Amino acid sequence: MNKVAKEIDEYKRGKTKEEIAEKYGLNPNEIVSLASNENSYGPPPKAIQAIKENAGRVYRYPSPKDAERIRREIAQKTKLKPENVVLGTGSDGIMESLMKMYIEPGDQVIIPTPTFSYYTLLTKIYKAKPKHIQRNQNYSLPKNISNEINQDTKIIFICSPNNPTGNTVTTEKLKQILKQDILVVLDEAYIEFADQTHAPLVKQHDNLVVLRTFSKAYGLAGLRIGYALTNPKITNKYKAVSPPFPLAIPSIEAAIAALNDKEHHKKTIKNNQRERKRLQKEIPLKTYPSKGNYVFIDTSPIKATKITKKLMKKGVIVRDCTPIPGCKDTHIRITVGTPKENTKTIQAIKKITKK
């Protein structure tokens, strides 16, 4: 085992209903799981049907035609071409392939914090150095971010809407960063909930990769489907370094069906907007503006770890952001749930904060 593998801790995922039920002696059916920003409205019905219809095909490897079909559907949705699209086992899988393509041991990766913690973990696994740069007070990117780039810098990760803070990057700022001679990985995992994508910029900037996922708005986290939008020079090399069959047949079929399940998508986006506003209004703590399917909250004067534990005891699982670099020990993140789940969450927070 190499030195990094010996030293590194695994990615800390949100707690599951089963874990919390066992720990606090609760009924798992009454627990509300709002720690991983999944789609609270479940998977698209058309995707479930597609999985059932294609179950009998799984003794074969996915064919190149299957991958081509999904790339064409994604190209149509994003108004780009199939040669601009690559596929991966979740956007996590795509990040890993990009690391293989761009990183040598000792390189530097810029990560404006707080943000999605997997960027840092991957950077360390690939024996590169994460350079954390604290975002501004409102979590926008700092003015001088380009000053941090040196000859060792190979990648900058920008998450928009940013997880966990919920804000997006401006076009002006992004274009300024794109002028640098490094790969800009723009993670748009939550873009369907927001109003502005920067994906069209891949036509003008050959150092931009836009990451997308079916795990959030499309409700298919368990199938592990990610894609990226970029220029054909990168997509061709990407195919050489990525595993040969990144997506399983049921995943491909479910993703195509999800793209065409307009009703489920509309319901997801509309309900998220309404319920996000309700959480922001009714939670008696400082909440930040959010373009994602989650709300970032400052629980001051109560510590995040304390309130997270109290909420879990009441059957509400949220994310304690204390361990995330750049967060305060009073930051939590709550996924927008269904109306019933949100009511339970709001009531639980009100009870805890009254004491």
Q: Does 226 bind ligand PLP (CB under 6 A)?
A: yes
Does position 213 interact with ligand PLP (CB under 6 A)? The reply is yes
Number of residues that make up the chain: 355
Indicate the pairing of strand 208-213 with strand 183-187.
parallel
Is 334 a binding residue for ligand PLP by CB under 6 A? The answer is no
Give dist(CA 224, CA 239) in Å, integer.
18
Is residue 90 near ligand PLP by the rule CB under 6 A? yes
Query: Judged by CB under 6 A, which of 66, 73, 92, 275 binds ligand PLP?
Result: 92
Whether residue 247 contacts residue 63, with contact meaning beta carbons closer than 8 Å, is answered with: no
What are the tokens at 326? 């750049």
The residue (of 103 and 302) whose beta carbon lies closer to ligand PLP is 103
Burial class of 60 by CB neighbour count within 10 A (0 to 12, 13 to 18, 19+): exposed
Name residues whose C-beta falls within 8 Å of residue 300's C-beta, 6 or more positions apart in sequence.
Answer: 285, 286, 330
Contact 117, 324 (CB under 8 A): yes
Q: Please state the closest distance from residue 349 (CB atom) to ligand PLP, in A.
A: 22
Nearer to ligand PLP, 207 or 251 (CB): 251
Residue 261 lies near ligand PLP (rule: CB under 6 A): no
Interface pick for ligand PLP out of 33, 215, 287, 335 (rule CB under 6 A): 215
Q: Least distance from C-beta 292 to ligand PLP, angstroms? A: 8
Task: For the CB of residue 25, give the shortest distance to ligand PLP in the complex, in Å.
Answer: 28
How buried is 70 (Cβ within 10 angstroms: 0-12 exposed, 13-18 middle, 19+ buried)?
buried
Q: Does 37 bind ligand PLP (CB under 6 A)?
A: yes
Note the residues at the interface with ligand PLP (CB under 6 A): 37, 90-92, 116, 159, 163, 187, 189, 213, 215, 221, 226
